[in-house]
Amino acid sequence: MILTGILLAVVGLGLIGWFVGRGRARLLYHGRGSMHSMPNYHGWHLALWIVVPALVVWAVWSGIQPGLVEGALLADPAAAALPDNAMHRSAIISQAYLLASDPGAAVFASEAQALAAPLRAIITRFSLIGALLVTIVAFTGSAYGFTRIRARFEARTQVERVVMGVLLLASLMAILTTFGIVASLVFEAGLFFKDVSPIAFLTGTHWSPGNAMGADIDENFGAVPLFWGTIYIGAIIAMAVAIPLGLMSAVYLTQYASRRVRKWLKPILEILAGIPTVVYGYFAALTVAPMIRDFAASMGANNPSTESALAAGLVMGVMIIPFVSSMADDALAAVPRAMSDGSLALGATRSETIKKVLLPAALPGIVAGVMLAISRAIGETMIVVMAAGAAANLSANPLDSMTTVTFQIVQLLTGDQEFNSPKTLSAFALGLILFIVTLVLNIIALRVVKRFREAYE
């Protein structure tokens, strides 16, 4: 509480410092007429000198205070009555913390009641010391900053240096995130591969993590059915829908549609890309899947499943249409006008020009777009969670229930299980594979697009 309060006080002090610094610099400005920096920069310089060192001290103190409090508490005579059993002891102490922050809290350990009062006193004492330290640093900083306000002082240069540092830090966030993803996936997957051999994981055909125990653990973590389901749904069924429809819409919109039609149709088509995947998943489960089941039943299939790879794949394909369409759109637009003009001038019809000249010329761009679309489809989660099913079948029948990598990650990590079991860790191994595959697809696709653009520029 006290430490939060002092934080606000420091910010308030910084604000005052800004006005004081600016005012002081203005006075100087009036006296002399020429200064290196504008008064605002002197204000910022002073404010930074107040806030930044104080914040650093505040952060350090917040980090070390819990340890100091714990030490002081154990040294307190009231703590002498605590039992020796480490677990019991820490339970009582954590109850005491609860009581110290909220006297009305319900606790079950009676020893905690006795500890609460001294604990509160200790926390208050250390908080006050911390607050005092922060205040001293803030005032020292402000005194130093204030003495620097001179006509010749280059406040702007100093402030801009800080600004540059902040900009650099912000752009490093991207690397930090990438690093975080790789580190957490590799670390957890490493724990998993300690128990299960990577070869069995990548080549086994039996997946049932639920009953994976003891010696035959390798047998139950064969991920091939998941990879097959992912490829079958995301890269085969979905692409069979998305490539023809997306490509043909792009051709129509760029080559045939009038400007007005294009202006209306393109945003409507893009709404498809903006609909959340959970809505698609619900639609697939509620409408498309029963339709497909009835259709399969009428075709003579006995007892078809409600959850089918086809339902999930079809809906996923529709979701990807605008993506394929806009990638194809870009690829077609990058083909030089002279090529299609030449073909038309020779007497070819529009469709002949498109089929024989435009599409072959745009092919690398289109292929790259399809690769990006596949990488998006195999990472798609909600549609398969809601429509594809949990059974790990290795089948080529689109009416069968199939499962995917993303589905299994969700399945393995929701619900209550202890965190370090191989079952939970396998989700991270699956995540690592998914990350690597999508990364490779993206890198290749982006490289192809780049080379393709350069070829025509």
Partner 1 sequence: MSNPTWHSPEARRRLAKRHASERRFKAMGLGAIVLSVAFLALLLVIMLKNGLGGLDWSFLSGADSTSPDIAGVWGAAKGSLLTMLVTLLIAFPMGVLAAIYLEEFAPKNKWVDIVEVSINNLAAVPSIIFGLLGLAVFINTLHLPRSSPMVGGLTLALMTMPVIVISGRNAIKAVPPSIREAAYGIGASKVQTTFHHVLPLALPGILTGTIIGMARALGETAPLLMIGMRAFVATPPGGVTDPSSVLPMQIFLWSDEIDKGFVQNTSAAIIVLLVFLLAMNGLAIYLRNKFEVRW
**Of residues 271-330, those binding partner 1 (CB under 8 A):** 271-272, 274-283, 285-287, 318, 321-322
Tell me how far, at minimum, the Cβ of 269 lies from partner 1, in Å. 6
Under the binding rule (CB under 8 A), the answer on residue 4 touching partner 1 is no
Residue 47 or 137 having the CB closest to partner 1: 47
Tell me how far, at minimum, the Cβ of 434 lies from partner 1, in Å. 6
Under the binding rule (CB under 8 A), the answer on residue 67 touching partner 1 is no
Residue 39 or 134 having the CB closest to partner 1: 39
Q: Give the chain's radius of gyration (CA, Å).
A: 33
* Burial class of 344 by CB neighbour count within 10 A (0 to 12, 13 to 18, 19+): middle
CA dist 303 and 120 (Å) reads: 67
Angle, alpha carbons 421-385-379 (nearest 5°) = 85
Query: What residues between 27 and 56 interact with partner 1 by CB under 8 A?
Result: none
Question: Mapping DSSP to helix (H, G, I), strand (E, B) and coil, where does residue 212 land?
Answer: coil
Under the binding rule (CB under 8 A), the answer on residue 354 touching partner 1 is yes
First and final C-alpha spacing in the chain:
62
Alpha helices in 33-154 (DSSP H): 39-75, 86-101, 110-147
Q: Quick one: which of 68, 252, 339, 421 contacts partner 1 (CB under 8 A)?
A: 252
Stretch that binds partner 1, among 66-74, 118-126, 141-149, 439-447 (CB under 8 A): 439-447
Under the binding rule (CB under 8 A), the answer on residue 442 touching partner 1 is yes
Residue 216 or 352 having the CB closest to partner 1: 352
Strand partners, 207: 221
Tell me how far, at minimum, the Cβ of 419 lies from partner 1, in Å. 6
Q: Mark 176-215 with x for binding to partner 1 (rule: CB under 8 A) and - for no binding.
A: -xx-xx--xx-xx---------------------------
Count of positions on this chain that bind partner 1 (CB under 8 A): 86
Under the binding rule (CB under 8 A), the answer on residue 372 touching partner 1 is yes
Under the binding rule (CB under 8 A), the answer on residue 63 touching partner 1 is no
Tell me how far, at minimum, the Cβ of 62 lies from partner 1, in Å. 14
CA dist 231 and 32 (Å) reads: 75
Under the binding rule (CB under 8 A), the answer on residue 367 touching partner 1 is no
> Are 255 and 354 within 8 A, CB to CB?
yes
Tell me how far, at minimum, the Cβ of 76 lies from partner 1, in Å. 26
Under the binding rule (CB under 8 A), the answer on residue 174 touching partner 1 is yes
8-state DSSP, 222:
-
Report residue 221: phi and psi, to 5°: -115, 40
Distances (CA, A) of 176 to 59, 85, 173, 442: 21, 41, 5, 20
Tell me how far, at minimum, the Cβ of 410 lies from partner 1, in Å. 6
Residue 142 or 375 having the CB closest to partner 1: 375
Tell me how far, at minimum, the Cβ of 406 lies from partner 1, in Å. 5
Query: What residues between 211 and 250 interact with partner 1 by CB under 8 A?
Result: 244-249
Q: Quick one: which of 75, 81, 128, 164 contacts partner 1 (CB under 8 A)?
A: 164
Query: What residues between 330 and 349 interact with partner 1 by CB under 8 A?
Result: 349
Residue 146 or 282 having the CB closest to partner 1: 282
Under the binding rule (CB under 8 A), the answer on residue 132 touching partner 1 is no
Stretch that binds partner 1, among 72-80, 125-133, 162-170, 194-202 (CB under 8 A): 162-170
Stretch that binds partner 1, among 102-110, 136-144, 145-153, 269-277 (CB under 8 A): 269-277
Residue 194 or 355 having the CB closest to partner 1: 355
Question: Which are the contacts of 359, defined by CB distance < 8 A and separation ≥ 6?
Answer: 251, 366
> Are 191 and 205 within 8 A, CB to CB?
no
Tell me how far, at minimum, the Cβ of 180 lies from partner 1, in Å. 6
* Burial class of 201 by CB neighbour count within 10 A (0 to 12, 13 to 18, 19+): buried
Buried b / exposed e over 93-123, threshold 16 CB at 10 Å, is bebbbebbeeeeeeeebebbebbbebbbebb
Question: Mapping DSSP to helix (H, G, I), strand (E, B) and coil, where does residue 154 land?
Answer: coil
Report residue 48: phi and psi, to 5°: -65, -40
> Are 305 and 400 within 8 A, CB to CB?
yes
Q: Quick one: which of 268, 299, 337, 454 contacts partner 1 (CB under 8 A)?
A: 268
Give the DSSP letter string of 234-287.
IIIIHHHHHHHHHHHHHHIIIIIS-HHHHHHHHHHHHHHHHS-HHHHHHHIIII
Query: What residues between 393 and 432 interact with partner 1 by CB under 8 A?
Result: 406, 409-410, 413-414, 419, 427-428, 431
The residue assigned the tokens 């975080």 is 180
